[in-house]
Structure 1
């Protein structure tokens, strides 16, 4: 059936036509939007009727091209929205949600092609290499006369860790992601078939005729969208931790397994072009970690057995990838020994293999009698499969019963004891080929993958809150009557003294049979499980223990003591197989970080411990809680200062400091472009090593497509090298630091006056944002609150805090307090504006901070936010809440004015046309969805107060489902959750 023709929304065309500074022609983007809109509409006409499509277009047309809600009261919008039945509201919400996600697909492909086109232009000499790429970086280092030996030294120790976290803020179901990926593939093929169809002269009111192949593919896309329409967007049950692991590991399976060899090839070629005599970095300069299945801070679902199963799951996945790769090599390496020489080492290994694995020889010897490489690969395949089967058994029985599976003996050659044995066999094949003058790129790629992923795929980081360890030690010492005074009643100095002595004793503290309370037993078993993990998988699987809410030296020593009891720390030698990482999260903790670390470094026992860890200390800095505590500017400044002080301290003690940045996906939790964020760090704080969290909500945008994943990884690596070798001059200018100190202090004061000191703010937040409805979303195994039942801000996690403000379009955590702080500074002296503009131009930290504020201001919509207040505030609190809203709105408009003055822009995001287009493209359709959400939440919350009327029309389940679907839709449109 041919699709009905509808005209594209004028607002979308206006938005796209505004852009003139794009690398690809705008006609291509306009054409794709045209196609996807028509496909979207044709499906909805068939499924819902022409009337619903007209309604959706009517709602969208009521919004301005800039994507802001009309001035309140928007009677025409309200009249339409309030007339919708629940069924119509749900249909509209689902339709807009699918629309946003289709636009996301188009935009992501467009970004990918911009990057590819830029590469082509550079090769042709038609454009300069862009910042954030290897081919820009190394010529720039040469231009700035950076000594090659400095570059080589940094490259040799380059260590980048990207950690996928256990905060699953990605709201889209795995099932929907699969459909999106399929549609993306078909859209790319359709674009190829229609190449040349679009031009700047096209009349977008009419579609040009398509070839029969293109028309057939277009109908397939419509069918896929139709199946999507009949798929529930909401999870039907709360995901388990293993479900979350499956979702996260999906990106390794689909993209990252293949991305790392390409990343290495990029850096190797770029370095050779400029510095041919320098050696490239080690293959595994970029590795991955994960908190999924190992982060137990506030997540009661993460038990020791879950962490064990997660590790087995990771090993099973990567071995399956290796099996697939080796099967590909079997097909490829059809080399005959009649035509080339085979190395003696390889022939010797084949003889040994025949002895150890005669069943493989009997099956393949005749078939591959003249093809020794294929025969060798069959032995390798058999060992991989046996290793996989053993792993499946360990996964099935769990960590406590793992001893039932016999450890691998040195004489057992039918299974790999570790990835190193597998790598050795692959290198044996590669060396034999090399001796004959042959090279197999697929084999070299596999060797690189083994170096990076081993048999563990990603390093698991254990994380637990400090008070849990203290509580466990209190119960242990009380139960065993070891201390005269209960441990938790000791002073900090008394705790440190006792812990230091206990860490040097050779006798055990904890008995083998546990008889403590459930949670203390679980803490102890976590360390015992970790020891067994390292024994089975090697230390690489899990060697980091992060202590959240670190506030003292004893917090660190407690973990070291618990590690000692599990055999992870040897008091006789001072050696250990686990690194203890304090996490400083609140402003007070960040300010006290230097003092705590200095006291630790002064402890001979702890220094000896670091000496056995290559003098390396990892410290994690948290963005989320510090932001919730003190506001955006104050949080970012305290983290900046903490890095400066910690790096200076580490240099004094001769310690190599690695900062672990606990960044969220949204700006309110430290998110934003990673490259700019790295350059915004104090130059001396990055010395070739960095560790960064990658939150669940950004995984799809960063790692769904290979080219985009490579671009992201390249910008991270470039940023780390650049920040280390070309540090910002601002670090030496004390007056700059004092100015920011004053601004941050005032910003924090303004933020806390509203958030923490206003007695009405908590109720305002709970009643005019969808926080209560968000808690019903089945998107996380982790509770929304640290303490069940409490509605105070301290117990609320940062993710739902930011998520709720984003849904209601306030985005308050990302900008509140910035405007007043800078405005008051400017009012003191008019020339201060020139100073702020100078900072913006010359200081990466300040520029990045202001740019993030600008972006979130552009995504905010105080008109629709006002509507949430009007509709959702209880009648008795209308006046009070409107006063609060006006206070927020005044700060918003003040901040907008200040940001535009500093940046010199006429409109927000004028300096980033692509981002400006992206924000505006979505905002116009998010506005009507916001009105629908407010209406549904209002009905839902009135349900209990008006049982006769509302219960006769709708069930609570139906109302809640409608509200949750709007949350899903707005999250897709904003490309942000928490």
Structure 2
């Protein structure tokens, strides 16, 4: 973190231990980047706090590296004692220093990933990876033939839904600074840079790292829902708007006989964005009908402005003379319609575009998009379809004499309109079924409505208003949390009718059941059978060619029965729902409510897709993307392209006969193993969470209460006012708290006991190699365990007074670790995952340092004997450490 040798010393220290990865395993380019950034951070620390600050940082870093790599406890005990000896002010400085280091390492690794992806693209003899679209389409052609491959690609759907669940611990100001540093780091790869340019780049780098150090990592106030909307818009503006047409182009090139010959594209615009941000009101009183309408308006403003700019750019470039590129009669007719619509405007454009029919038509189209954004009724487009009709007239006319221009940038614009419409992302309203029931009870009682019920009614009016302003596709999905009966769905339609009064005013609504708990997953098909009898559902099926969506919750099911039983219950539910859809001639889309952390269904999305039951994907995949996951997957154009490509490839591949047969055969062959895992893991999980006093103990041995202080989201951390019951605690802080305590219990607890109950190592190894669901679960748990730390965990568990529960956790941790290593056949965790292992082991000693700082603050806060000034400092140190651990572990909730 100071001079170059110290960074190598860190790498060497990690490399010498039995738990470590070799220094040579880090690519030279990445090692040089980490060395440079660490050296510059060291310089900033000296300039800010003097040599003593850097010395303290280096002392703690050296102790935690030794403690991580040595088998004894001497270095760890020294590290604890050193942290306890620090002043609170120094503790805060160290917490900030290690957090800055994590941000720098994270961005260096992200940039190296981008570097590798670009090098792969530039490889003159590339071999398409199996998880790429090129590899997948080649495999589809071999197994299914050209015609079936094209049909499946044409029907492909990927629906990422952005949510504002509070798991992104970074401030926007910090994220912006990190992006600037990343851009400067990328500049250094340019071989054309002179020595003077490199020196200037270094000066700018140190200035930005100094800014990162001096910028408070903590938000002073919780963001409002509209703040969260605007944050998401940044991802759209910077990456998604331009990335998706490039992905479609890549697919089209793969399908073309000769991609270098201009041709009418056949690749579909297969991505549709959804958003819960500003629409998800389940337990979040800050999301109101006013917020939902405003969120829709903000999104529309961004997409229309983007479309306007692209159309203007294309129009200005289409300086094609009528003599060389004659317009079609349809283009002339379009121009005449435009002239009648806006004589003064078109006269001005025509004056600037003499004998350039394509330029004048496209510039008028751009003006009409602008008018749509400004709500100029005389000139505005009535719908995206109307705009698409105009663009295709231009395209068809161009194609007759200039197909290269017809199918170039203009086709990208068409794809953008097809993807985003005029609304950008469909707002999906979510509300708890109990809220609907309470509202209807108040209405039926005939008295005045409570504020909550008034808001429910206004929500439906807001949906109607959004549809009138931005189109039906802007907001028609209504997700019912904790759906336990078909009546929960019927209530949504009844409330919509009550809110709007007359049938013609009622908005189009697709009520989507969300099955979350273990019991609800088991009852899902019974509820779906009842839903089919509802007249409103029957009407929507008739209008949508029998398309239906069903959502599955990963978070609450895992909190309900533990990660192992939840994984198996979700697989079983998907299998039964897919079979139910087939019986009822329904085109099913399963919506996966997955989080970033493993305790909430996290992990590599493409592997999760390939492990799904037969018939449950069928070319359509929808999932929630939240918090830090949004920026990790979509924050950079290269990484976003790769992520979308991987998910699309897996979605196409999952429904092939070979993959479906593999999954169904494995499910049958290992059904007995699944049953034993389910029974044993659930019993073990219940032994812990159903123990008397467990909720209070959990709140004591983790920073559960303190996590709620973080201003990282508009949503409250729990539904009630206490932790008397885990049912009132939201799944995200449940996961976040265990992660901060370095126990990660939500990702693995119960698996060790379940594997031991099966007992047959060879049978389990066979399952690992032949059963995709089991292999994915084992690999995800392996990653979760690699981020745990028994020594740190013991210190957190010591905060409570329940030795029985602490021993239960530690015994299960050791048992799970032992069985994972035996099943994978590796000498240690993550030995078979080189890149991931390197990332975890590079960070772990530094996370340990922050954990020790957090523990010191937590103990003092729990003692409750500090004066107001000291208490304020303790709280700040606590929150800084939470922020830093989140940055180091790279997933929170």
Same fold (TM over 0.5): yes
Task: Please state if 1:585 is matched with 2:516.
Answer: yes
The question of whether the paired residues in 2 share the 8 Å contact of 1:16 and 1:26 is answered with no
Instruction: Tell me the secondary structure at the aligned position of residue 286 of structure 1.
Output: coil
The question of whether the paired residues in 2 share the 8 Å contact of 1:665 and 1:697 is answered with yes
Change (3 A) 1:247 1:794: same
The one-character-per-residue Cα deviations of 1:491-543 (angstroms, maximum 9, x if unpaired) are xxxxxxxxxxxxxxxxxxxxxxxx53222222122112212221221111011
Determine the structure 2 residue equivalent to 1:920: 841
Q: After superposition, where does 1:218-297 map in structure 2 within 5 Å?
A: 218-272=202-256, 283-297=268-282
CA shift, 1:688, in A, is: 1.0
Choose which of 294, 299, 318 in structure 2 pairs with 1:314.
Answer: 299
Determine the structure 2 residue equivalent to 1:520: 453
Choose which of 173, 176, 179 in structure 1 pairs with 2:177.
Answer: 179
The question of whether the paired residues in 2 share the 8 Å contact of 1:617 and 1:655 is answered with yes
The one-character-per-residue Cα deviations of 1:254-302 (angstroms, maximum 9, x if unpaired) are 0000111111112222233699999976532111101001111001111
Determine the structure 1 residue equivalent to 2:133: 134
Determine the structure 2 residue equivalent to 1:106: 108
Instruction: Tell me the secondary structure at the aligned position of residue 431 of structure 2.
Output: strand
Determine the structure 1 residue equivalent to 2:671: 737
Determine the structure 1 residue equivalent to 2:350: 365
Change (3 A) 1:21 1:261: farther
Choose which of 642, 646, 664 in structure 1 pairs with 2:577.
Answer: 646
In structure 1, distance between residues paired with 2:594 and 2:626:
8
The question of whether the paired residues in 1 share the 8 Å contact of 2:432 and 2:481 is answered with yes
CA shift, 1:135, in A, is: 1.3
Task: Please state if 1:851 is matched with 2:779.
Answer: yes
Instruction: Tell me the secondary structure at the aligned position of residue 657 of structure 1.
Output: strand
Change (3 A) 1:191 1:51: farther
Q: After superposition, where does 1:380-419 map in structure 2 within 5 Å?
A: 380-390=365-375, 408=377, 412=378, 414-419=379-384
Instruction: Tell me the secondary structure at the aligned position of residue 551 of structure 2.
Output: strand
Change (3 A) 1:16 1:719: farther
Determine the structure 2 residue equivalent to 1:458: 425
Say which is worse superposed, 229-238 or 596-605, in terms of deviation: 596-605
In structure 2, distance between residues paired with 1:883 and 1:605:
53
In structure 1, distance between residues paired with 2:536 and 2:452:
29
The one-character-per-residue Cα deviations of 1:188-237 (angstroms, maximum 9, x if unpaired) are 11133599xxxxxxxxxxxxxx9232122011100011112221211111
Say which is worse superposed, 419-428 or 772-781, in terms of deviation: 419-428
In structure 2, distance between residues paired with 1:134 and 1:690:
15
CA shift, 1:766, in A, is: 1.2
Determine the structure 1 residue equivalent to 2:495: 562
The one-character-per-residue Cα deviations of 1:167-199 (angstroms, maximum 9, x if unpaired) are 13111111111111111111011133599xxxx
In structure 1, distance between residues paired with 2:786 and 2:275:
32
Choose which of 549, 563, 575 in structure 2 pairs with 1:632.
Answer: 563
Choose which of 887, 893, 900 in structure 1 pairs with 2:814.
Answer: 893
CA shift, 1:426, in A, is: 2.4
Q: After superposition, where does 1:7-22 map in structure 2 within 5 Å?
A: 7-13=6-12
Choose which of 283, 295, 307 in structure 2 pairs with 1:298.
Answer: 283
TM-score by length of 1: 0.86
Task: Please state if 1:932 is matched with 2:863.
Answer: no
Change (3 A) 1:374 1:461: same
Determine the structure 2 residue equivalent to 1:432: 397
Instruction: Tell me the secondary structure at the aligned position of residue 621 of structure 1.
Output: strand
The one-character-per-residue Cα deviations of 1:537-581 (angstroms, maximum 9, x if unpaired) are 111101111100011111111112223445699699xx9822111
Change (3 A) 1:801 1:34: same
Higher relative contact order (CA 8 A, sep 6+): 1
The question of whether the paired residues in 1 share the 8 Å contact of 2:132 and 2:646 is answered with yes
Change (3 A) 1:361 1:194: closer
Choose which of 336, 359, 375 in structure 1 pairs with 2:321.
Answer: 336
The question of whether the paired residues in 1 share the 8 Å contact of 2:592 and 2:622 is answered with yes
Change (3 A) 1:5 1:648: closer
> 5+ unaligned residues in a row in structure 2: which ranges?
none
Instruction: Tell me the secondary structure at the aligned position of residue 64 of structure 2.
Output: coil
In structure 1, distance between residues paired with 2:233 and 2:422:
14
In structure 1, distance between residues paired with 2:784 and 2:264:
42
Change (3 A) 1:659 1:274: farther
Change (3 A) 1:69 1:683: farther
The question of whether the paired residues in 2 share the 8 Å contact of 1:601 and 1:607 is answered with yes
Determine the structure 1 residue equivalent to 2:58: 57
Say which is worse superposed, 423-432 or 705-714, in terms of deviation: 423-432
The question of whether the paired residues in 1 share the 8 Å contact of 2:8 and 2:35 is answered with no
In structure 2, distance between residues paired with 1:894 and 1:270:
48
In structure 2, distance between residues paired with 1:892 and 1:26:
32
Choose which of 574, 579, 588 in structure 2 pairs with 1:657.
Answer: 588
Change (3 A) 1:104 1:754: same
In structure 1, distance between residues paired with 2:100 and 2:22:
28
Determine the structure 2 residue equivalent to 1:884: 805
Change (3 A) 1:273 1:129: farther
Q: After superposition, where does 1:475-624 map in structure 2 within 5 Å?
A: 475-479=442-446, 516-566=449-499, 577-602=508-533, 606-624=537-555
The question of whether the paired residues in 2 share the 8 Å contact of 1:190 and 1:217 is answered with yes
Change (3 A) 1:525 1:468: same
Instruction: Tell me the secondary structure at the aligned position of residue 283 of structure 1.
Output: coil
Task: Please state if 1:118 is matched with 2:120.
Answer: yes
In structure 2, distance between residues paired with 1:70 and 1:553:
58
Instruction: Tell me the secondary structure at the aligned position of residue 158 of structure 2.
Output: strand
In structure 2, distance between residues paired with 1:861 and 1:71:
14
Cα-Cα RMSD: 2.7
In structure 2, distance between residues paired with 1:542 and 1:571:
17
The one-character-per-residue Cα deviations of 1:927-972 (angstroms, maximum 9, x if unpaired) are 1111011111222233x3x24xx45xx4432221111111111100
Determine the structure 2 residue equivalent to 1:157: 155
Change (3 A) 1:679 1:443: same
The one-character-per-residue Cα deviations of 1:93-151 (angstroms, maximum 9, x if unpaired) are 11111110111101111112222333344x415xx4222101111222344x3244443
Change (3 A) 1:565 1:69: farther
In structure 1, distance between residues paired with 2:177 and 2:730:
31
TM-score by length of 2: 0.94
Change (3 A) 1:610 1:366: closer
In structure 2, distance between residues paired with 1:843 and 1:152:
29
Change (3 A) 1:65 1:436: farther
In structure 1, distance between residues paired with 2:787 and 2:192:
34
